[in-house]
Amino acid sequence: MHAVGAADEIDRIVLKYVNDLLTSAPEAIAAAKRLIADVSVATKTAATEHTIDAIAERRISPEGQEGMGAFLAKRQPSWVR
């Protein structure tokens, strides 16, 4: 959450969030939404275990491997246009 002082500052902050979303892995965003819904109704222990599993699953997915490969190669991942 941000507090802003001027209208042009609102535009800058909104644009930053939009750009962050546009450069994020699409399947990872969907998985994060599912994870939030799942852990919001779980016990702390169950939420922690589910989060650990979800992160591990995303890392070994093709999208996760592409993202890690792009990061290590210092290039943009394939989903960024």
CATH of domain 28-81: 1.10.12.10
Q: Please state, for a pLDDT cut of 70, what percent of the chain lies above it.
A: 98
Average pLDDT over residues 35-56: 96
pLDDT of residue 42: 95
- Measured CA to CA, the distance from residue 36 to residue 40 in angstroms comes to 6
pLDDT of residue 3: 75
pLDDT of residue 8: 77
Higher-confidence position of 26 and 81: 26
Question: Can you tell me whether residue 2 is helix, strand or coil?
Answer: coil
Across the chain, which distance is largest between two alpha carbons, in Å?
43
Q: How confident is the model at residue 10 (pLDDT cuts 50, 70, 90)?
A: confident
